[in-house]
Amino acid sequence: MNLRLRFAIGITVLGLAACGEKKTTEAVAEAPLNGTWKLAYSKLIKNGDTTETYPVKGQEMIKIFNGSHFAFFKHDLSKGADSATATYGSGAGTYVLTGDKYEEHLQYCTYRGWEDKHFTFTLTQQGDTLIQRGIEKIDSLNVNHEIVEAYTRVR
């Protein structure tokens, strides 16, 4: 094989290897957050007082992430049959994750006053546990509190 042909083959192999490496790196960077997470507990902190807001007997909530969007769904387990405990809430939008800084833009929400709002949180992940912590502030609704939510990965 002549030198030019060897060089061309070598460059082609290196180029293909570099493309494959980039895809692997992107997939690894996105994969830890992507998927479905079940809310294990949540707390609301306002004016120094902490209130545990979840778990609530007879309810469950999940949060789903892909590379650019999130969605959450909360409902009662009696499928609305008990009017005293019937509940449903959902929301969705886009997010940006930079290190542990997680920024949500809530585009859709059952509670319409929350739509088109931006929130900044800190996300920490340890194995199959995800902790979201930050301030929810909406002046028009007189909302100003800190939340702490813990999720476990659904397998």
pLDDT recorded at residue 84: 87
Q: Is the pLDDT of residue 4 over 80?
A: no
pTM of the predicted structure, to 2 decimals: 0.78
| Cβ–Cβ under 8 Å, residues 148 and 135 | no
Q: And the tokens for 129?
A: 């546990």
pLDDT recorded at residue 1: 54
- Residues 23-35: what's their mean pLDDT? 55
- Residues 66-72: what's their mean pLDDT? 96
Question: Residue 22: pLDDT band by 50, 70, 90 thresholds?
Answer: very low
Instruction: Report the Cα–Cα distance between both ends of the chain, in Å, rounded.
Output: 52
| Cβ–Cβ under 8 Å, residues 54 and 31 | no
pLDDT tens digits for 86-97?
A: 999 999 999 999
Write the DSSP symbol of residue 6.
H
Q: SS3 of 150, please?
A: strand
Q: SS3 of 115, please?
A: coil
Q: Is the pLDDT of residue 81 over 80?
A: yes
Phi (first) and psi of residue 35, to 5 degrees: 130, -165
Sign of the C-alpha dihedral computed for residues 127, 122, 59 and 64 taken in this order? negative
pLDDT recorded at residue 149: 98
| Cβ–Cβ under 8 Å, residues 97 and 33 | yes
pLDDT recorded at residue 32: 81
